[in-house]
Amino acid sequence: MTIQEIQNDIVDEFSMFDDWMQRYEYIIDLGKALPLIEERYKTEENIITGCQSKVWVHAEQQGEHIVFTADSDAILTKGIIAILIRAFSNQKPSTILEANTDFIDEIGLKEHLSPTRANGLVSMIKKIKMYALAFEAKK
């Protein structure tokens, strides 16, 4: 699936919920389902700066695609990074760099987060794009 198709699916899923309490519960469930990052990747190099909680994102190239793994010490934040990983993992670096993140606004996520969590979300997206830039530069 393309990034846009995945993002459209995420928007469709969030539109099924009537209120934000249901959406928060869904985000938490996504976090619980996120495959665990290997402990050896919970390093300072992989930590997201700008988050109030600890979030680690690791990326490795598998063939032409980047595969992301992540974890957080906060359950809501873990759900947020799970959404981003779903959207961007297993994609080519160039595709990640070209992709927009409008789906975040479409589901209303940023406006329903505290300012520090919203800043953390922006930092997570930047980290994913930086990994993509680094892998793209290796070509």
Q: How far apart are CA 88 and CA 94, in angstroms?
A: 11
Question: Could you tell me the two tokens for 113?
Answer: 């987060």
Active-site position among 10, 30, 37, 51:
51
Contact assessment for residue 102 and residue 95, using Cβ atoms and an 8 Å cutoff: no
Q: How far apart are CA 41 and CA 113, in angstroms?
A: 27
28 catalytic, yes or no? no
Q: How far apart are CA 135 and CA 98, in angstroms?
A: 14
Catalytic residue positions?
A: 51
